């Protein structure tokens, strides 16, 4: 079994494997290329993202700077907005649904390391050779989610559709759909309901209006 297959299987893999290092090097260099572009160099930016990511839906915008680890393990839906300093350490798969919006400094991580210090330094592979190992758990984010500034999503987390995650939250466990969740560790504060509609805040809504149906 190759190291890439081990990642998908959720078992220990060697991040120093030459094939994995080559994948990461390519993506790290593409990060640098993207971050050196101007915001209005749309064609150049699109070409870099096409080389880097597993999937990026139409109408998506990544403000930059961006920091992807593998890139190819990340799939992002349509009309995504990622603000400054989006970091996705996608050793395992990361999926982000349609119409998601991320504030600045959002971080998604998938890798995990042994807790025992000596085991972090090295373990023995099947041939008895000393190697550094880690493992990874995928992160899945639904449609129409909003993440405030400096949200961190930890390995193995699934966040349902229509969630709002408050600024500075560290998400360590699954969040059900239609939830407002905040804190360190992040916990569900309450469900998002019709009472949260801008219709209920006419002083802020001003002369704008909420459509009767979603477009």
pTM above 0.85, yes or no: yes
Give pLDDT, residue 1: 86
Sorted by where each starts, the structural domains of the chain and their CATH numbers stand as 3-188 (2.160.10.10)
Is residue 66 within 8 A of residue 30, CB to CB? The reply is no
φ, ψ for residue 102, nearest 5 deg? -115, 130
Is residue 140 annotated as part of the catalytic site, yes or no? no
Mean pLDDT, the chain, whole residue set: 96
Residues 85-104, mean pLDDT to the nearest whole number: 98
Residues 93-99, mean pLDDT to the nearest whole number: 98
Q: How far apart are CA 52 and CA 18, in angstroms?
A: 18
Cα distances (Å, whole numbers) of residue 35 to 30, 44, 105 = 8, 11, 15
Give pLDDT, residue 214: 60
- Neighbouring C-alpha atoms within 13 Å toward the C-beta of 56: 18
Per-residue pLDDT of 52-70, as tens digits, reads 999 999 999 999 999 999 9
Name the least confident of 100-114, 138-152, 192-206.
192-206
Q: What is the phi-psi region of residue 99: left when phi exceeds 0, alpha when psi lies from -120 to 50, beta otherwise? A: left
Residues 110-123, mean pLDDT to the nearest whole number: 94
What does the block give as tokens for 127? 């041939």
Cα distances (Å, whole numbers) of residue 169 to 25, 145, 149, 176, 190 = 30, 14, 9, 15, 15
Selected catalytic residue, list 28, 69, 73, 113: 113
């Amino acid at each position: 079994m190759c190291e890439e297959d081990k990642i998908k299987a959720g078992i220990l893999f060697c991040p120093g494997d030459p094939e994995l290092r080559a994948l990461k090097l390519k993506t790290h260099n593409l990060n640098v290329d993207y971050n050196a572009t101007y915001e209005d160099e749309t064609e150049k930016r699109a070409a870099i993202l096409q080389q880097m990511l597993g999937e990026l839906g139409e109408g998506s915008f990544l403000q930059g700077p961006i920091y992807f680890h593998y890139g190819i393990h990340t799939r992002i839906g349509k009309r995504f907005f990622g603000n400054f300093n989006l970091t996705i350490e996608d050793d395992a798969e990361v999926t982000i649904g349609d119409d998601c919006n991320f504030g600045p400094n959002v971080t998604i991580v998938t890798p995990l390391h042994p807790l025992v210090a000596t085991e972090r330094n090295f373990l023995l592979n099947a041939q008895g050779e000393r190697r550094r190992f880690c493992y990874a758990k995928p992160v899945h984010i639904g449609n129409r989610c909003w993440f405030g500034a400096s949200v961190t999503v930890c390995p193995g987390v699934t966040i349902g559709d229509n969630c709002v995650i408050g600024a500075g939250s560290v998400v360590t466990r699954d969040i059900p759909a239609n939830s407002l969740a905040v804190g360190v560790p992040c916990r569900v504060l309450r469900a998002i309901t019709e009472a949260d509609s801008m219709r209920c805040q006419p002083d802020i809504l001003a002369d704008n209006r909420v459509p009767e149906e979603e477009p």
